[in-house]
């Protein structure tokens, strides 16, 4: 067995293991969203998470992967590598497909939390379908289209860098979530004239916190696997991921305490997510102090954005828009 084959095999095993960790994030989203919403709606939210995973992976296999990584058409979208063209014997290509399919499912499931308790089941499935068919793959092609050695997308050609998807995955999912909540409107009884917003009780906050921990675990693969190789940069990337998360938790708890006068559980949970999202853009390049600082700033931005949405009477059931969209933009720009 040659050294080059050993290296390729080890890289494939690492990316497949990272994909398995990213899949754990799906369980994290399910627990977080089911635990945050009211008990009567928990099974609906959980079912949406399972169904959007099935739809996202199926559609991404058939069309989305080709749109994202196929032969580039002037840097705008791919035109090959569709489901009927992929061969299981092309082990490296299939490995990248598995990893990216988990990313696509993550982008789709971000929307589920924001629109929880009011979006019809079939309407949500159609949303997941379009995210996997065009929205995520097209933007992914612009930023990552040259990942497999082809012509880079137009955005990458301009020098755009998003290491693991702060914008490509999380901001894209957040933009769709924002559009959805603006179109659908708030939950019944959430906002009333001349009254403060009605706080709906979470069904199971310990379950939501467990979901957040699953997401932190999954993020080790999300960021660490984006090297597409098991190399010397992986430990630093995972360390930056951890420090971003804890920085976000601490700052969100402190600022949330200042705003709410108590330790808000959802701010702590979303602070972790905010820190993770922010460092995702540059996890390969950040120093450890910079990752902690970036996570801390993202926690503050998440709290401020959450309070702004409430003042604007925009109903995000789990805080997905501040945690994914706002901090994804911050991480990419920083």
Q: What is the pLDDT of residue 6?
A: 52
| CA distances (Å), origin 41, targets 37, 116, 120, 208, 267 | 6, 8, 12, 14, 21
How would you write the pLDDT of the chain (334 residues) with one tens digit per residue?
334 445 589 999 999 999 999 999 999 999 999 999 999 999 999 999 999 999 999 999 999 999 999 999 999 999 999 999 988 888 999 999 999 999 999 999 999 999 999 999 999 999 999 999 999 999 999 999 988 888 899 999 999 999 999 999 999 999 999 999 999 999 988 888 878 888 888 889 999 999 999 999 999 999 999 999 999 999 999 999 999 999 999 999 999 999 888 889 999 999 999 999 999 999 999 999 999 999 999 999 999 999 999 999 999 999 999 999 999 999 999 8
Q: What is the pLDDT of residue 7?
A: 55
* Domain boundaries defined on the chain: 3-333
- The CA distance from 265 to 271, in Å, is 10
Q: What backbone torsions phi and psi does residue 78 show, to the nearest 5 degrees?
A: -90, 160
The DSSP annotation for 62-101 comes to: IIIHHHHHSSBSTTS-B-S--TTT--TT-HHHHHHHHHHH
**Looking at the domain 3-333, which fold is it?**
Ammonium transporter fold (1.10.3430)
């Amino acid at each position: 067995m040659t050294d080059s084959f050993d290296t390729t095999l080890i890289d494939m095993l690492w990316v497949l293991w990272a994909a398995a960790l990213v899949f754990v994030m799906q369980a994290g989203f399910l627990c977080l969203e089911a635990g945050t919403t009211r008990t009567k709606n928990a099974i609906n939210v959980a079912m949406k998470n399972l169904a959007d995973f099935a739809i996202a992976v199926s559609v991404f296999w058939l069309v989305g992967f080709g749109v994202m990584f196929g032969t580039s058409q002037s840097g705008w979208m791919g035109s090959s590598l569709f489901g009927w063209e992929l061969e299981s014997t092309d082990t490296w290509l299939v490995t990248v497909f598995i990893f990216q399919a988990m990313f696509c499912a993550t982008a789709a499931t971000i929307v589920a939390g924001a629109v929880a308790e009011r979006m019809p089941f079939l309407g949500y499935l159609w949303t997941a379908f379009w995210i996997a068919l065009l929205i995520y793959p097209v933007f992914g092609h612009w930023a990552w289209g040259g990942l497999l050695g082809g012509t880079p997308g137009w955005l990458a050609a301009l020098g755009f860098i998003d290491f693991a998807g702060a914008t490509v995955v999380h901001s894209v999912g957040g933009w769709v979530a924002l559009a959805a909540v603006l179109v659908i409107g708030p939950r019944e009884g959430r906002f009333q004239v001349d009254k403060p917003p009605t706080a709906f009780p979470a069904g199971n906050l310990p379950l939501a916190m467990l979901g957040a921990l699953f997401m932190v675990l999954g993020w080790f693969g999300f960021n660490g696997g984006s090297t597409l190789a098991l190399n010397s940069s992986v430990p630093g990337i995972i360390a930056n991921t951890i420090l971003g998360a804890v920085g976000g938790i601490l700052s969100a708890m402190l600022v949330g305490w200042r705003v709410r006068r108590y330790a808000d559980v959802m701010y702590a949970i979303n602070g972790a997510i905010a820190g993770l999202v922010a460092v995702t853009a540059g996890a390969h390049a950040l120093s450890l102090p910079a990752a902690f600082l970036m996570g801390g700033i993202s926690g503050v931005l998440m709290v401020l954005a959450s309070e702004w949405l409430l003042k604007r009477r925009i109903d995000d059931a789990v805080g997905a828009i501040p945690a994914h969209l706002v901090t994804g933009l911050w991480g990419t720009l920083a």
